[in-house]
């Protein structure tokens, strides 16, 4: 039986990468359920929009009746839950939207999913999976050594990470209390094509391309593990199709970098591949600004479990992935220019004032 996957947040950055992967590399049918908030972009799905295995439904996961209707209408064999408010800075300025979407929305989706799962026959219930996609930020901040594992205690710092930690706990509770067959994954920082330009890497690429200041929080010494989004999409399919019910899997790229190093690499790549700026090398655009409140110092993922149990490995190094990402933004101005002009011009967020 061919899988039919209902994907929430499929017009977002990671969700669209997952859909493109599933349509290109599997025989699964996909139903994309997305509210189409500011960071969603159906242009990211142009390569699959006309595929007969792809369908789109505009709906809000907080609307339990709508979720129940779509589950009954499409009868999926699995759900991949990626819909979320995800930008830490925006969560500092307006935490309410994060609580509603990430906590209340996850509850509404779980509630509808349990009812749908119970309506299936025995074989359908055994096959069904609810895959909840989360972040390594739920674990808080590491010191100079050590790694996040699947058993690291939760210690979220921001409204965003707290809302994602809450949704993780809800999913586990629905598994333990109601028996819903769930799998969970927590990933490190994603980057790659089709990422909304409020996030560090696309913001720095576009600002550096245009000769605008490159704002780096504090001294730029905060460390993140970077995961190329297409590697992540492959990992999510492995978790959904092979993961054991009730288990969680950490997904990381094995690419720890200081933020300042990331920005410097972007500057150097652009200096190599586009015309120089009149003022000299693009590293001269780097501007250190006041750090954001509650900024975690270091994230690093131990991805040995997914490697050992599911056979997944990242294919991209940070060098190769970053070059692919820069090339994509250079080649796809028609995707990002309307966002810069009309949705987000690159201003500072998350000042908590």
Residue 192 confidence class, pLDDT cut points 50, 70, 90: very high
The DSSP H or E segment spanning 73 is helix 64-74
> Cα separation of 99 and 118, whole Å?
27
pLDDT tens digits, one per residue of 9-40: 999 999 999 999 999 999 999 999 999 999 99
> Cα separation of 4 and 319, whole Å?
35
Residue 69 confidence class, pLDDT cut points 50, 70, 90: very high
The average confidence (pLDDT) of the chain is 96
Could you tell me the CA-to-CA distances from 322 to 111, 126, 221, 258 in Å, in that order? 40, 40, 19, 14
Q: Computed over its alpha carbons, how large is the radius of gyration of the chain?
A: 20
> Cα separation of 98 and 92, whole Å?
10
Handedness of CA 252, 255, 261, 266 (dihedral sign): negative
Domains of the chain as residue ranges with CATH: 4-191+229-252+298-318 (3.40.50.720)
Please give the pLDDT value at position 292.
Answer: 87
Please give the pLDDT value at position 346.
Answer: 82
> Cα separation of 262 and 244, whole Å?
35
Mean per-residue pLDDT, 160-182: 98
> Cα separation of 108 and 116, whole Å?
12
For the record, the structure tokens of 311 come out as 């056979």
Please give the pLDDT value at position 352.
Answer: 57
pLDDT tens digits, one per residue of 42-67: 999 999 999 999 999 999 999 999 99
Q: Which of 247, 246, 221, 222 is nearest to 298 (CA)?
A: 222
Please give the pLDDT value at position 349.
Answer: 74
Residues 205, 280: contact at Cβ < 8 Å? no
Active site residues: 136-137, 160
pLDDT tens digits, one per residue of 310-352: 999 999 999 999 999 999 999 999 999 999 999 987 877 766 5
Mean per-residue pLDDT, 223-231: 98
Residue 297 confidence class, pLDDT cut points 50, 70, 90: very high
């Amino acid at each position: 039986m061919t899988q039919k996957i209902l994907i929430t947040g499929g017009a977002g950055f990671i969700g669209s990468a997952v859909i493109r992967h599933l349509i290109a590399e599997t025989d699964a049918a996909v139903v994309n359920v997305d509210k189409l908030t500011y960071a969603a972009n159906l242009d990211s799905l142009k390569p699959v929009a006309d595929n007969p295995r792809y369908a789109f439904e505009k709906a809000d996961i907080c609307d339990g009746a709508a979720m129940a209707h779509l589950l009954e209408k499409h009868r999926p064999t699995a759900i991949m839950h990626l819909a979320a408010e995800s930008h830490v800075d925006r969560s500092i300025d307006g935490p309410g939207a994060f609580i509603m979407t990430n906590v209340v929305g996850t509850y509404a989706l779980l509630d509808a999913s349990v009812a749908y799962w119970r309506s299936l026959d025995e074989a359908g219930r055994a096959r069904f999976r609810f895959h909840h996609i989360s972040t390594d930020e739920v674990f808080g901040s590491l010191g100079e050594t050590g790694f996040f594992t699947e058993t690291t205690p939760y210690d979220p710092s921001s409204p965003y990470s707290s809302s994602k930690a809450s949704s993780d706990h809800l999913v586990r509770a629905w598994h333990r209390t109601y028996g819903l067959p769930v799998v969970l994954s927590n990933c490190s920082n994603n980057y790659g094509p089709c990422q909304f330009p409020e996030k560090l890497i696309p913001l720095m690429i576009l600002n550096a391309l245009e000769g605008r200041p490159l704002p780096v929080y504090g001294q730029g010494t905060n460390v993140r593990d970077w995961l190329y989004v297409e590697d992540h999409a492959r990992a999510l399919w492995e978790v959904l199709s092979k993961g054991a019910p009730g288990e969680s899997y950490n997904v990381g790229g094995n690419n720890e970098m200081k933020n300042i190093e990331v920005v410097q690499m972007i500057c150097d790549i652009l200096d190599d591949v586009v015309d120089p700026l009149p003022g000299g090398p693009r590293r001269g655009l780097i501007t250190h600004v006041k750090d954001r409140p509650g900024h975690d110092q270091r994230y690093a993922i131990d991805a040995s479990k997914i490697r050992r149990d599911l056979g997944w490995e990242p294919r991209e190094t940070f060098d190769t992935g970053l070059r692919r990402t820069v090339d994509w933004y250079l080649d796809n101005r028609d995707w990002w220019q309307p966002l810069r002009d009309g949705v987000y011009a690159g201003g500072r967020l998350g000042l908590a004032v």
